[in-house]
Amino acid sequence: MADLTISESEHRERTRTVLERADANGYDGLVLFGSINIHYVSGMYHLPTERPVALGITDERVEAVVPRLEQEHASRDEFIIDEVTTYFDYPQGEPMEAVADMCARLGIADGSIAVDVDGSPARNGYTGPALSSVVAADVGVEEYITELRETKSDHEIELIREASVWANLGHRLLQERIKPGRRPIEVRAEVEAEAVKTMLDTLGNRYEMRSWANPMQCLFTTGDVTARPHSMDQTTRIEHGDNIVTIVKPNVGGYTTELERTMFVGEASDEQQTYFEIMKESQEIAIDAIGPGVEYAAIEEAVVDYYEEQGVAEFTQHHAGHNIGMQGHERPFLDVDSNGEIRPGELFTVEPGFYVPDLGGFRHSDTVLVTDDGTETLTYYPRDIESLIV
């Protein structure tokens, strides 16, 4: 694709939509503190630390308060910010007083303000205060942007589609380099270096990093470690006969995708083959069940029914999937307790899986787009066991 950045016109449309929702609820304007929310509305991304960053939005203006070290970046022409105000640092500089002054300039300090969170999030040692304690306005926490991010625009979908192409490359390189005796962290480092070089050489100056995260993350665990879905152990050496569970997550234009596969080092045992085929079938059941108007809960219910029939329900540890976009995990969820119906423009990681003690985990994950009349699977790495033998 030609453009790897969300356009200024789309950011302005997002701002207009958020303002309309706030106005309908009686708010005079908005103040955003979440880094992803600020990025989503204005295009201005930044590294979130203890230093508060705030975006103020009214019908007339968009202003930002940032620490001094973000001033030049926040003032870039492509971000839809009319004025940038700085403070030196935190705790010096009184950042929330600068936010209160911004609210006064925008004419909302004595009115009613919608926020994504009442003050900068507590992280890296930051302790407040809340916005509601430094302005006279009524402050209400709303989920407007979280709700907007549930469905994606055509351009967002194309960015995730592009990321999915690179996921295929990353996973191919990963599978080629997995060998008995090696450690996952060693393989990861090699693969990510080569994959990122190829990706950046191909996309050129159009590609822009929007965080310190690697543009292509290629991780895996091995052996019985895979029975712990979120284990961080990447130092256990690969052995013949191991399960391998991978995750590849490229990022393009601020959007990510997810590709996961269960593989085997050498010929899989009868037990491994049996569990693999149950897992693969469960993912197919989930993907086939997804469609516009289907309840979110119904997807996991179909998987649970199948797992109970196959006698593996006791090995499950998580729901069947989640939305994906600017973050790896977004709302809504394919979960038995999720309310509502699936809509066109939502994208889900479809990843039902189960984890057998002393043997390993069994999970594929693919990124699936909901269309007007069904689904399109954006990730396309082979899913059959013959293709996934190392």
CATH tag, 8-148: 3.40.350.10
**pLDDT tens string 360-389:** 999 999 999 999 999 999 999 999 999 999
What's the average model confidence in pLDDT over 136-144?
Answer: 98
pLDDT score of 64: 98
Pairing of strands 366-371, 29-32: unpaired
Give the CB-side neighbour count of residue 191, counting CA atoms within 13 A: 30
Q: Are 295 and 340 in contact (CB under 8 A)?
A: yes
- Check pLDDT > 90 for residue 146: yes
Mean pLDDT of the chain: 97
Q: Which residues pair with 32 in a beta bridge?
A: 55
Class of domain 154-388: alpha beta
pTM across the whole model: 0.96
3-state SS, one letter per residue, for the chain = CCCCCCCHHHHHHHHHHHHHHHHHCCCCEEEECCHHHHHHHHCCCCCCCCCCCEEEECCCCEEEEEEHHHHHHHCCCCCCCCEEEEECCCCCCCHHHHHHHHHHHHCCCCCEEEECCCCCCCCCCCCCCCHHHCCCCEEEECCHHHHHCCCCCHHHHHHHHHHHHHHHHHHHHHHHHCCCCCCHHHHHHHHHHHHHHHHHHHHHHHCCCCCCCCCEEEEEEEHHHHHCCCCCCCCCCCCCCCEEEEEEEEEECCEECCEECEEECCCCCHHHHHHHHHHHHHHHHHHHHCCCCCEHHHHHHHHHHHHHHHCCHHHCCCCCEEECCCCCCEEEEECCCCCCECCCCCEEEECCEEEECCCEEEECEEEEEEECCEEEECCCCCCCHHHHEC
**pLDDT tens string 83-113:** 999 999 999 989 999 999 999 999 999 999 9
**pLDDT tens string 324-340:** 999 999 999 999 999 99
Q: For the chain, give every residue range classified as CATH 3.40.350.10.
A: 8-148
Q: For the chain, give every residue range classified as CATH 3.90.230.10.
A: 154-388
**pLDDT tens string 18-76:** 999 999 999 999 999 999 999 999 999 999 999 999 999 999 999 999 999 999 999 99
pLDDT score of 43: 97
What's the average model confidence in pLDDT over 285-289?
Answer: 98
What's the average model confidence in pLDDT over 119-142?
Answer: 96
Residue appearing with tokens 């119904």 = 298
**pLDDT tens string 153-185:** 999 999 999 999 999 999 999 999 999 999 999
The amino acid occupying position 339 is N
- Check pLDDT > 90 for residue 2: no
